[in-house]
């Protein structure tokens, strides 16, 4: 069993998300940085849909009441198993009574904890991903307990370069309303750095933006990775918990890897967009 | 064969946006539904998301290229038949417009230059087409708001709008299925639940492509219905829709 001794700043359980429920207004959810959760699951021999703990910014203390293999991947945190520092992207065997303690994020923003063989978490609308009003709680709480499942490991190899997520170039393709923006703003998009002003699992917001506008569109579908332009000229990058439809112009669309890269950014971090063509 | 001129947009690595003429009409929503039903069981489709007049389809790009998938969709559209699985119903949603629940009605009343009674009469006499769900789990996009009730949404949204709030904004009206921030004017509250995550097959109370009508109830009736909802004894009142 795993017991939560300290719930940190923001810890949730995530898998690949809730497919096929957007028709009821339900967001996709799932790991913000799927590259890192895939790494953590793959390294301990899980399938990539196995739920993991997503730990954001700082904190979190996990007590293990039995021996099991684990892996952490994603942001670089100060992490200690009892009193010893541990590193990302390697199998670590924890023993009965061990305490895994997450400190601050040193580089990046979100780290994933995968448990070999998985742990029990309720499946609601075909996913374990936490989301307010879908799952009983929107975050993992102190005192929560999770039984280990000990599923037979399956060969799974979705390992990517763990440095990729620390890039600051976000690859985007043109969104359906890209043509609304003028040439000066396109120049800004191509050349300027944009600074993250705030973020949560629904979206990333930026301090600087494009020119103010009065564009609006009939409420239309969006997906994680869609970048909307608000009337003030500021952009919102929709992330995994983002709503399924919206009325702001969809000017850009991030690709999968870029969603992972942006997920590792925090307030004050700077990114640049690189326009690519879809093939 | 489909009735409209549709176009396609390569939206992401594995998704395609299909655009119908950009207007809010039950006929367009209904054709989008027929199109969804025609492709529903296709093994290359991962998920689709509906808008008023567009459809965003995620496909398995490992199995099929964007161009081949687009050609496949054109074929489906060219051979589309109108599929009416069920006749739509009009679902009655009880709404209490009492001052206790209508926190924005004074401000709204000034903006639309109508009395509270007139607002309630106009809001509850129409039937609204449920185009789709979006925004929040269980949030209905309802079309058909009387033009006298249409004003731009608030410039500064409320931080917390209560669950069940019935609100108007722009050309739309809707119900907040859970507590959430929101930019529409709250004019009432419904005691019924619109979303139940434990119901895997039908987590929403009212299926889309149906009609919704708001029925004014007193605060006493509101409490009685709320009790029935709590005990899972509440039964929707619905009738067949006649054109």
Whether residues B205 and B231 share a domain: the answer is yes
The residue segments making up the domain with residue B109 are: 89-240
Searching chain A, which residue's CA lies closest to the CA of residue B33?
A23
Of the three residues B78, B111, B127, the one that is the final residue of a domain is B78
To the nearest whole angstrom, how far is the Cα of A88 from the nearest Cα of chain B? 29
Each of the 279 residues of chain A gets a pLDDT tens digit; together they read: 999 999 999 999 999 999 989 999 999 999 999 999 999 999 999 999 999 999 999 999 999 999 999 999 999 999 999 999 999 999 999 999 999 999 999 999 999 999 999 999 999 999 999 999 999 999 999 999 999 999 876 666 788 999 999 999 999 999 999 999 999 999 999 999 999 999 999 999 999 999 999 887 889 999 999 999 998 899 999 999 999 999 899 999 999 999 999 999 999 999 999 999 998
B169-187 per-position pLDDT tens digit: 888 899 999 998 888 999 9
In a domain, B2, yes or no: no
Asked if residue B123 and residue B19 are part of one domain, the reply reads: no
One domain for residues B101 and B66: no
Shared domain check, B149 and B109: yes
Contacts of B58 in chain A (CB under 8 A): 223
Question: Based on the domain organization, do B71 and B108 belong to the same domain?
Answer: no
Each residue's pLDDT tens digit, A52-71:
999 999 999 999 999 999 99
Contact residues, chain B, for A243 at CB < 8 Å: 134-136
Contact across the interface for B49 and A245, Cβ inside 8 Å:
yes
Clarify whether residues B11 and B112 are in a common domain.
Answer: no
Tell me whether residue B83 is in a domain.
Answer: no
In a domain, B194, yes or no: yes
Of the candidates B37, B56, B78, which is a domain's last residue? B78
- Select the residue of A25, A133, A173 nearest B135 (Cβ to Cβ): A25
Given B43, B78, B113, the domain boundary residue is: B78
Q: Are strands B89-95 and B127-133 parallel, antiparallel or unpaired?
A: unpaired
Q: What is the set of domains in chain A, with CATH numbers?
A: 2-146 (no CATH), 167-275 (2.40.100.10)
| Shared domain check, B95 and B71 | no
Report yes or no: B51 at the A interface, CB cutoff 8 Å. Answer: yes
Does some domain include residue B56? yes
- Give the residue on B whose Cα is nearest the Cα of A178: B11
What are the angstrom distances between the C-alpha of B183 and each of A5, A216, A225, A231, B34?
Answer: 39, 15, 24, 15, 32
Residue B22: its chain A contacts at CB < 8 A? Answer: 217-218
CB distance from B183 to chain A under 8 Å? Answer: no
- The answer to whether residues B44 and B66 belong to one domain is yes
Does B25 lie in the same domain as B69? yes
Contact B133 A23 (CB under 8 A): yes
CB contact under 8 A, B203 and A26: yes
Beta carbons of B13 and A135 less than 8 Å apart? no
Residues of A within 8 A of B19 (CB-CB) are 176
> Chain A contacts of B11, Cβ < 8 Å?
175-176, 223, 253
Among A26, A175, A176, select the one facing B137 at the smallest CB separation.
Answer: A26
Domain co-membership, B127 together with B32:
no
CATH number at residue B17: 3.30.1360.40
Asked if the C-beta of B151 comes within 8 angstroms of chain A's C-beta atoms, the answer is no
Split into its structural domains, chain B has a count of 2
What tens digit of pLDDT does each residue of B27-47 get? Answer: 999 899 999 999 988 999 999
- Partner-chain contact B49 A243, CB within 8 Å: no
B70 and B123, same domain (yes or no) = no
What CATH number is associated with residue B149? 2.40.100.10
User: Is the minimum CB–CB distance between B135 and chain A shorter than 8 Å?
Assistant: yes
Chain B residues 9-38 within an 8 A CB cutoff of chain A: 9-13, 15, 17, 19, 22-24
Same domain for B54 and B138, yes or no, is no
Query: Which of A19, A134, A220 lies nearest to residue B197, judging by beta carbons?
Result: A134
Q: Rounded to a whole number, what is the distance in Å from the CA of B222 to chain A's nearest CA?
A: 23
């Amino acid at each position: 069993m795993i017991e939560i001794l300290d719930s940190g700043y923001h810890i949730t359980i995530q898998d690949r998300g809730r497919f096929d429920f957007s028709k009821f207004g339900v967001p996709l959810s799932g790991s913000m940085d799927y590259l890192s959760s895939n790494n953590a699951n793959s390294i301990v021999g899980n399938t990539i849909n196995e739920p993991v703990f997503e730990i954001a910014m700082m904190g979190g203390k996990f007590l293990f009441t039995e021996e099991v293999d684990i892996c952490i991947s994603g942001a670089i945190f100060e992490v200690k198993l009892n009193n010893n520092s541990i590193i990302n992207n390697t199998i670590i065997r924890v023993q009965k009574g061990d305490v895994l303690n997450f400190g601050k994020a040193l580089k990046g923003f979100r780290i994933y904890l995968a448990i070999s063989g998985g742990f029990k978490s309720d499946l609601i609308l075909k996913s374990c991903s936490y989301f307010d009003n879908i799952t009983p709680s929107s975050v993992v709480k102190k005192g929560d307990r999770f039984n280990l499942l000990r599923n037979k490991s399956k060969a799974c190899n979705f390992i990517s370069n763990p440095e990729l997520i620390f890039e600051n170039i976000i690859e985007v393709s043109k969104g359906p309303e890209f043509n609304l923006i003028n040439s000066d703003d396109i120049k800004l998009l191509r050349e300027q750095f944009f600074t993250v002003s705030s973020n949560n699992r629904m979206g990333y917001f930026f301090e600087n933006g494009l020119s103010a506008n009065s564009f609006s569109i009939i409420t239309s579908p969006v997906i994680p990775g869609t970048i909307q332009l608000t009337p003030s000229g500021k952009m919102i990058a929709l992330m995994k918990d983002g709503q399924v439809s919206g009325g702001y112009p969809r000017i850009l669309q991030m690709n999968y890897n870029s969603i992972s890269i942006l997920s590792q950014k925090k307030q004050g971090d700077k990114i640049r967009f690189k326009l690519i063509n879809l093939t | 064969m489909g009735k409209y001129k549709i176009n396609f947009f390569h939206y992401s690595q594995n998704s395609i946006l299909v655009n119908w003429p950009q207007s809010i009409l039950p006929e367009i929503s209904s054709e989008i539904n027929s199109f969804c039903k025609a492709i529903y069981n296709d093994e290359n489709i991962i998920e689709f998301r509906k808008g008023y007049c567009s459809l965003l389809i995620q496909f398995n790009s490992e199995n099929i290229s964007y161009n081949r998938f687009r050609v496949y969709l054109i074929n489906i559209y060219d051979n589309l038949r109108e599929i009416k699985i069920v006749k739509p119903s009009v679902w009655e949603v009880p709404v209490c417009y009492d001052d206790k629940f209508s926190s924005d009605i004074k401000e709204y009343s000034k903006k639309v230059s109508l009395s509270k009674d007139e607002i309630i009469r106009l809001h509850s006499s129409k039937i609204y087409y449920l185009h789709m769900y979006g925004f929040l789990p269980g949030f209905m996009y309802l079309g058909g708001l009387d033009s006298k009730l249409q004003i731009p949404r608030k410039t500064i949204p409320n931080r917390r709008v209560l669950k069940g709030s019935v609100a108007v904004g722009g050309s739309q009206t809707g119900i907040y299925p859970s507590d959430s921030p929101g930019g529409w004017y709250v004019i009432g509250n419904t005691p019924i639940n619109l979303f139940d995550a434990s119901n895997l097959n039908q987590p929403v109370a009212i299926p889309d492509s149906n009609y919704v009508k708001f029925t004014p109830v007193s605060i006493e009736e509101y409490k009685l219905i709320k009790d029935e909802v709590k005990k899972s004894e509440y039964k929707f009142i619905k009738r067949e829709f006649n054109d």
